[in-house]
Amino acid sequence: MNAHVEDRTPLVEMEEISISFGGVHAVERASVNLYPGEVVALLGHNGAGKSTLIKILSGAYRRDSGVIRIRGEEARIENPRDAKSYGIETIYQTLALADNVDAAANLYLGRELLTRWRTLDDAAMEARAREVMGRLNPRFQRFKDPVKTLSGGQRQSVAIARAILFNARILIMDEPTAALGPQETAQVGELIQHLKSEGVGVFLISHDIHDVFHLADRVTVMKNGQVVGTGRVEDLTKDEVLGMIILGKCPPGATPGPGAA
């Protein structure tokens, strides 16, 4: 299933990406890539640098060095607006919601629908919000309330809805199901399958190794800011992946990175 995929130009290539905060090398010479219709899982302990790496792709941080290519062409991603212009949408681990405004305002934040008088078209935004949220979380009805009054799962649904609202070509999901119940988690799984079938590339960060083996095509494991290795899910066992995460040992089924022990 992946053989034909790899013949094509990668959707995303991140090469030798480094960034440090003060003296801390949060990410060091990390390389990952992503093909259309592919799900790549990023794994690693807390503090391994997963969120930092994807925040460089989403424009939240500026890298110190390294190259990002989108569809084979070098991309200038200096801020979140740049990333969005490449079709990159992100569900942040912290959700990044403006707590004091409602779901629709969050969904359209930065890209509001306007009436022909160039004023906010709140009714149209709410209607679209109801449509998208209805697919993710059919019981959700609290469209008038500020999102700070919503439950953790509902807030996560809002963050997910925002990422899929604008036809992302590249979707970054940083622990998207952390606050969801089993039913909503399953729905996110279906959503990912659906996006794959439409050729969307997905970076998925998750702690649930079962989920990862179920949804991902490839896994990239990070440790201490470096990539331990990358491999296809069918070439790896769960124990081997755990070994990569915990010991930084790259098994024969995976391609080692600079962080391999």
Partner 1 sequence: MNQTAGGAPDRAILARANRAAGDLARFSGRAFRAMEIDTRFLGMIAALLIIWIGFDLLSGGRFLTARNLWNLSVQSASVAILATGMVLVIVTRNIDLSVGSLHGFLAMVMGVVQARYLPEILGFGHPAIWFVTLMAGVLLGAVVGGLQGFLIAYLSIPAFIVTLGGLLVWRGAAWWVTSGQTVSPLDSRFILMGGGPRGAIGDVATWVLAALACLALLLLQAAARRRKRRFGFPTRPVWAEALMAALGCGAVLGAAAVANAYYWPAGTVRQWAAANDVIIPAGGLQISHGIAVPVLIALAAGVVMTFVARRTRFGRYVYAIGGNPEAAELAGVNTRWVTMKIFMIMGVLCALAGAVASARLQSATNSQGTLDELLTIAAAVIGGTSLAGGAGTIAGAMLGALLMQSLSSGMILLGLDAPLQNVVVGLVLVAAVWLDTLYKRRAG
* Per CB under 8 A, 179 contacts partner 1: no
Answer for the pair 34, 11: CB distance below 8 angstroms, yes or no: yes
* Per CB under 6 A, 197 contacts ligand ADP: no
> If contact means CB under 5 to 8 A according to the sort of partner, which of partner 1, ligand ADP, Mg ion, none does residue 52 touch?
ligand ADP
**For Mg ion, which is the closer residue by CB, 31 or 93?**
93
* Cα dihedral: 59, 167, 218, 215 (round 10): 130
> If contact means CB under 5 to 8 A according to the sort of partner, which of partner 1, Mg ion, ligand ADP, none does residue 124 touch?
partner 1
* Per CB under 8 A, 251 contacts partner 1: no
Pick from 2, 8, 9, 21 the residue near ligand ADP by CB under 6 A: 21
**For Mg ion, which is the closer residue by CB, 18 or 93?**
93
The H-or-E segment that residue 41 falls in is: strand 39-43
Residues whose CB falls within 8 Å of the CB of residue 141, separated by 6 or more in sequence, listed in order: none
Pick from 5, 31, 47, 71 the residue near ligand ADP by CB under 6 A: 47
* Per CB under 8 A, 96 contacts partner 1: yes
Question: Which residue from 88, 105, 248, 69 is spatially nearest to 174, judged by alpha carbons?
Answer: 88
Residues whose CB falls within 8 Å of the CB of residue 186, separated by 6 or more in sequence, listed in order: none
Answer for the pair 49, 225: CB distance below 8 angstroms, yes or no: yes
> If contact means CB under 5 to 8 A according to the sort of partner, which of Mg ion, ligand ADP, partner 1, none does residue 47 touch?
ligand ADP
Residues whose CB falls within 8 Å of the CB of residue 71, separated by 6 or more in sequence, listed in order: 9, 10, 11
**For partner 1, which is the closer residue by CB, 72 or 152?**
152
Say how many residues make up the chain: 261
CA–CA separation, 11 and 70 (whole Å): 5
Answer for the pair 122, 104: CB distance below 8 angstroms, yes or no: yes
Pick from 10, 36, 37, 49 the residue near ligand ADP by CB under 6 A: 49
> If contact means CB under 5 to 8 A according to the sort of partner, which of partner 1, Mg ion, ligand ADP, none does residue 155 touch?
none
Give the footprint of partner 1 on this chain (CB under 8 A). 58, 60, 79-81, 84, 90, 92, 94-101, 105, 109-112, 114, 118-120, 123-124, 126-127, 146, 148-149
Q: Where does this chain bind ligand ADP (CB under 6 A)?
A: 21, 24, 26, 44, 46-52
